[in-house]
Amino acid sequence: PRHAHQRRSGLLLIGLGAAGVLSGYALYYLVPEAWRPALGWAHAGLGLAGVAAGAWHGRRRRAVPPSPTSG
């Protein structure tokens, strides 16, 4: 497959995005007031990890030379 080398970083991005959505929803609707500061920091950490994973994902794209095409 053409983009198999990006699969791991792409799956990481999907996982971090899903965790960010769930933690954001929990912050807004589900979590008791006492838990909000800790979950807020965890949510921010997920966001920073997502930025790092996005940079890694994009860098992996540029690092692999394009495959020759037939035809």
pTM of this structure: 0.73
Q: What is the pLDDT of residue 49?
A: 96
If one counts every other C-beta atom within 10 angstroms of the C-beta of residue 32, the result is 7
Half-sphere exposure of 31 (CA within 13 A, CB side): 17
> Looking at the predicted structure, is the pLDDT value of residue 65 above 90?
no
Domains in the chain: boundaries: 16-63
Asked whether residue 71 carries a pLDDT value surpassing 60, the answer given is no
Measuring CA to CA, how many Å separate 59 from each of 19, 27, 42, 50? 23, 32, 25, 14
**Other CB atoms within 10 Å distance of the CB of residue 54:** 15
pLDDT tens digit sequence for 1-43: 667 777 888 899 999 999 999 999 999 999 999 999 999 999 9
Tokens representing 20 are 């960010």
What is the pLDDT confidence band of residue 61, given thresholds at 50, 70 and 90? low
